Amino acid sequence: MKKIVSLLLLILTVTLFETDIIKASGSSIEPSREIIYLEGGYYLETSIEDVPVYNTISPQSTNTITKTKTAKYKNKSGTVLWTFSITGTFSYDGTTSQCNVCFHSASAPAKTWRIKSVSSYKSGNSATATAIATHSNGSQSQDIVKHLTIQCSSTGVVS
């Protein structure tokens, strides 16, 4: 019983300690954002956000970082029509970097839009997702193809 209590106290202490380090580092919680204006009043809003990783203590000499880049396809009034994202886990050591794993997701909250397909792949220090969304307006439909790439520099800067 003493071992279990000691283990729980250790986990709690490490968790609180990591939270204090994150707060003290002064890192911005605001994701980086970019807006790309498209034809017809549409625009694509992209952002990169941290993905929490709880096992940050690693004996390896390389650093690991996981980030998600999301693109929201919006109309001129700012309504999200569809969205897709790519998440990549990268390792870097100051000289090189590489994408170890990636995955994607997509959704279409607007009634006249649907996700036709989404795929992703990794290559070197980057990962790319490709999404095809279909807009149906009565008897007509139009496919929109968009690509989203996330990459990591040798120093751990993700863009």
**Which tokens hold the place of 152?**
């990591």
**Confidence band for 110, pLDDT divided at 50, 70 and 90:** very high
Q: What is the mean pLDDT of residues 7-28?
A: 37
pTM of the model: 0.74
Cα dihedral across residues 7, 10, 14, 16: positive or negative: positive
Residue pair 86/130 in contact by the 8 Å Cβ criterion: no
β-strand 80-92 against 43-50: which pairing, if any? unpaired
Answer yes or no: is pLDDT of 11 > 60: no
**Residues, the chain:** 159
What pLDDT, in 10s, does the model give residues 74-106? 999 999 999 999 999 999 999 999 999 999 999
What values do phi and psi take at 20, rounded to 5?
-65, -40
